[in-house]
């Protein structure tokens, strides 16, 4: 636990926590002093993460969940609330990314992207927010993407889903603020995670570039010519989760080295 434990005594839940950004967020929140319920579809990933969290000196709750399944989400929320008695922080991080040119775009990819990236945020927030309303406080932080602001070729479904997350964030920020709850979005560019590695693999396969060349192509999309780290995203999440950040509401915070300025 950090000496400056700004989240001491609080309880958080992080979806998509098994890897990448979600894992980094769960660890950062734990170091800041909060107990953390961690959810993803992979129990082994969660068990490993829980052991790391408990070494920090806070509680970890493993609650495997497919966040596109309403019943599983409701069960996850109940387990977390039963274990902790309250939830102060929700990080909606679970998601997926697939690319496909639109003119031969399978409906299945559309359905998958909307379910994984947008409907899941609706399900989880709907399951957790009532308990926050009852207590009169809470922080809801949605991990979106710079794709919530701008379009790109070959990712129509992903872009539409992330635009939806940002719209949902802004609407709820106005609706829930009277209950002491803030709702914000964090919008990373390309982050050095297993999900981005899939994109790198795909670029290399389609274009014939090497792995290094494909990685460099994504890094070059940032004015800083690099991939963002998961830790950078997690640090912003902790900042938004603090009591002192109550004045930040309905915002989309970009972490992309300046690529998208909006």
* pLDDT over 90 (residue 205): no
Residue 70 shares a structural domain with residue 118: yes
Residue 199 shares a structural domain with residue 243: no
pLDDT in tens, 32-56: 999 999 999 999 999 999 999 999 9
Residue 222 shares a structural domain with residue 237: no
* pLDDT over 90 (residue 259): yes
* pLDDT over 90 (residue 208): no
Within-domain flag for 165: yes
Q: Lowest-confidence range among 2-11, 91-100, 212-221? A: 212-221
Strands 252-255 and 181-188: parallel
Range of the structural domain that residue 121 is part of: 11-190+229-255
Residue 206 shares a structural domain with residue 129: no
Within-domain flag for 200: yes
Residue 118 shares a structural domain with residue 69: yes
Is residue 3 very low, low, confident or very high in pLDDT (cuts 50, 70, 90)?
low
Within-domain flag for 5: no
Provide DSSP, the chain. --SS-TTTT-EEEEESTTSHHHHHHHHHHHHTT-EEEEE-S-HHHHHHHHHHHHHHTS-EEE----TT-HHHHHHHHHHHHHHHS---EEEE---------GGG--HHHHHHHHIIIIIHHHHHHHHHHHHHHHHT-EEEEEE--GGGTS--TT-HHHHHHHHHHHHHHHHHHHHHGGGTEEEEEEEESSBSSHHHHHHHHHHHHHH---HHHHHHHHHTTSTT-SPBPHHHHHHHHHHHHSGGGTT--S-EEEESTTS---
Report pLDDT for 172: 98
Kindly report the CATH number assigned to the domain that includes residue 114: 3.40.50.720
Q: Lowest-confidence range among 12-16, 74-78, 188-192, 198-202? A: 198-202
Report pLDDT for 28: 98
Within-domain flag for 260: no
pLDDT in tens, 123-154: 999 999 999 999 999 999 999 999 999 999 99
Residue 58 shares a structural domain with residue 94: yes
How many domains would you assign to the chain? Answer: 2
Within-domain flag for 162: yes
Is residue 220 very low, low, confident or very high in pLDDT (cuts 50, 70, 90)?
confident
Within-domain flag for 3: no
The percent of residues above 70 in pLDDT, for the chain, comes to: 100
Residue 145 shares a structural domain with residue 242: yes
Measured CA to CA, the distance from residue 101 to residue 259 in angstroms comes to 23
pLDDT in tens, 62-103: 999 999 999 999 999 999 999 999 999 999 999 999 989 999
Residue 213 shares a structural domain with residue 246: no
Average pLDDT over residues 181-199: 90
Residue 61 shares a structural domain with residue 181: yes
Residue 200 shares a structural domain with residue 164: no
Residue 153 shares a structural domain with residue 44: yes
* pLDDT over 80 (residue 206): no
Q: Closest Cα to residue 13, out of 97, 96, 79, 95?
A: 79
Residues annotated as catalytic are: 158
Q: Lowest-confidence range among 69-83, 163-177, 184-198, 229-243? A: 184-198
Name the average pLDDT for the chain.
Answer: 95
Within-domain flag for 98: yes
Residue 47 shares a structural domain with residue 28: yes
Is residue 2 very low, low, confident or very high in pLDDT (cuts 50, 70, 90)?
confident
Within-domain flag for 116: yes
Q: Residue written as tokens 């964090």?
A: 186
pLDDT in tens, 222-249: 999 999 999 999 999 999 999 999 999 9
Measured CA to CA, the distance from residue 136 to residue 49 in angstroms comes to 30
């Amino acid at each position: 636990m950090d000496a400056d434990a700004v989240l001491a005594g609080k309880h958080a839940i992080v979806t998509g926590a098994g890897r990448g950004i979600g894992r980094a967020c769960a660890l950062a929140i734990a170091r800041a002093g909060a107990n953390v319920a961690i959810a993803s579809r992979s129990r082994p990933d969660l068990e490993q993460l829980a052991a790391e969290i408990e070494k920090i000196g806070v509680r970890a709750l493993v609650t495997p969940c497919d966040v596109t399944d309403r019943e599983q989400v409701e069960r996850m929320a109940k387990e977390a609330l039963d274990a902790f008695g309250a939830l102060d922080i929700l990080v909606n991080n679970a998601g997926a990314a697939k690319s496909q040119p639109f003119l031969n775009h399978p409906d299945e990819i559309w359905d998958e992207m909307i379910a994984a990236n947008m409907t899941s945020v609706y399900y989880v927030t709907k399951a957790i927010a009532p308990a926050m309303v009852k207590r009169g406080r809470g922080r809801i932080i949605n991990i979106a993407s710079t794709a919530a602001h701008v379009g790109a070729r070959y990712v129509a479904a992903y872009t539409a889903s992330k635009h939806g997350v940002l719209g949902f964030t802004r609407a709820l920020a106005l609706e829930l603020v009277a209950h002491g709850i803030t709702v914000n979005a964090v919008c990373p560019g390309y982050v050095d995670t297993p999900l981005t590695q899939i994109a790198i693999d795909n670029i290399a396969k389609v274009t014939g570039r090497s792995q290094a060349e494909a990685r460099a192509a994504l890094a070059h999309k940032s004015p800083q010519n690099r991939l963002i780290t998961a830790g950078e995203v997690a640090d912003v999440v902790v900042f938004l989760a603090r009591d002192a950040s109550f004045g930040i509401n309905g915002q989309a915070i970009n972490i992309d080295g300046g690529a998208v300025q909006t």
